[in-house]
Amino acid sequence: MPTIAITGSASGIGAATAEELRRSGAGIIGVDLRDAEVIADLSTPEGREQAVDGVLSRCDGVLDGFVACAGLGPQVDDPGLIAGVNYFGTVALLDGLFPALRRGKDPAAVVVSSVASTHVTWDENPLAPLVQSGDEPEVDAVDAAVAAAGEYRGQYAYAASKNALTVAVRRRVPEWGAAGVRVNTVAPGSVETPLLRAGEADPRYGQAIREFVAPIPRHGRPEEVASLIAYLMSPRAGFVHGAQFVIDGGVDALLRPSRF
């Protein structure tokens, strides 16, 4: 039975993925703020260390898979917190669990990015200069980097953090591939999760979320994203490595049909 760690396992895409993988026979080590095998806050260095240590102790240092679902949405007012969880928290878990994945059987990892990762290029990403060193910047530096967006700085920080995360995954592809560990990202659009509902309730973003209609005119379901993740985690995707899979009802193709 494969052992797979999942961050953000208590709700949304993470919970749906845990259920999907359990049905396939996997043993799940959930990581979340509540209702999980490992309780940890990925917004802090101490919480990330606690998460890595908790997973490693439960898998005896051998892990067959890792799914990074934990993340914060644009309605969060603190850009530093968004970057802390979405980028630094995820990267810390990727790197911290990599040695255990190298010891696993047919190991693979999937990172949940976002279709918003395509809304800013790396060359124009305001967080790029702040994450190049690998050290987490001061909160004030993150605030200043996205200040131009004003009251929509949360959306700017969200898109920038997801873009930086996708770049971080792709930059790990040579080392991970050489070690026999596949890693890919999925980029959901609007999916019926607590994160989406929080966005709909926010006066800055709610109307736009409710009124925007994808080519497939509905929101996605967590189990649809989970089924894609389960495929990417399986041996059937054995030659899929370093790719980003958009699952957004056609939004990315609608907004940028000639860029892919």
CA 111 to chain centre: 5
pLDDT-derived band at 41, boundaries 50, 70, 90 = very high
- The active-site residue out of 156, 158, 205, 231 is 158
Query: Does residue 232 belong to any structural domain of this protein?
Result: yes
CATH code for position 149: 3.40.50.720
Query: Does residue 253 belong to any structural domain of this protein?
Result: no
CB atoms within 10 A of CB 11: 17
Query: Does residue 252 belong to any structural domain of this protein?
Result: no
pLDDT tens digit sequence for 191-214 = 999 888 888 888 888 888 887 889
How far apart (Å, rounded) are the C-alpha atoms in residues 178 and 180? 5
Catalytic annotation present for 231: no
Query: Does residue 8 belong to any structural domain of this protein?
Result: yes
Query: Does residue 255 belong to any structural domain of this protein?
Result: no
pLDDT tens digit sequence for 54-109 = 999 999 999 999 999 999 999 998 999 999 999 999 999 999 999 999 999 999 99
Query: Does residue 256 belong to any structural domain of this protein?
Result: no
Structural domains of the chain, count: 1
Q: Which two tokens stand for residue 131?
A: 């994450």
Judge if pTM exceeds 0.85.
yes
Query: Does residue 13 belong to any structural domain of this protein?
Result: yes
For Cα atoms 258, 259, 260, give the angle at the middle one, nearest 5 degrees.
Answer: 120
Q: Which domain holds residue 232?
A: 3-247
How far apart (Å, rounded) are the C-alpha atoms in residues 210 and 224? 20
Three-state SS letters, the chain: CCEEEEECCCCHHHHHHHHHHHHCCCEEEEEECCCCCEECCCCCHHHHHHHHHHHHHHHCCCCCEEEECCCCCCCCCCHHHHHHHHHHHHHHHHHHHHHHHHCCCCCEEEEECCHHHHCCCHHHCCCHHHHCCCCCCCHHHHHHHCHHHHHHHHHHHHHHHHHHHHHHHHHCHHHHHHCCCEEEEEEECCECCHHHHHHHHCCCCHHHHHHCCCCCCCCECHHHHHHHHHHHHCHHHCCCCCCEEEECCCHHHHHCCCCC
Query: Does residue 260 belong to any structural domain of this protein?
Result: no
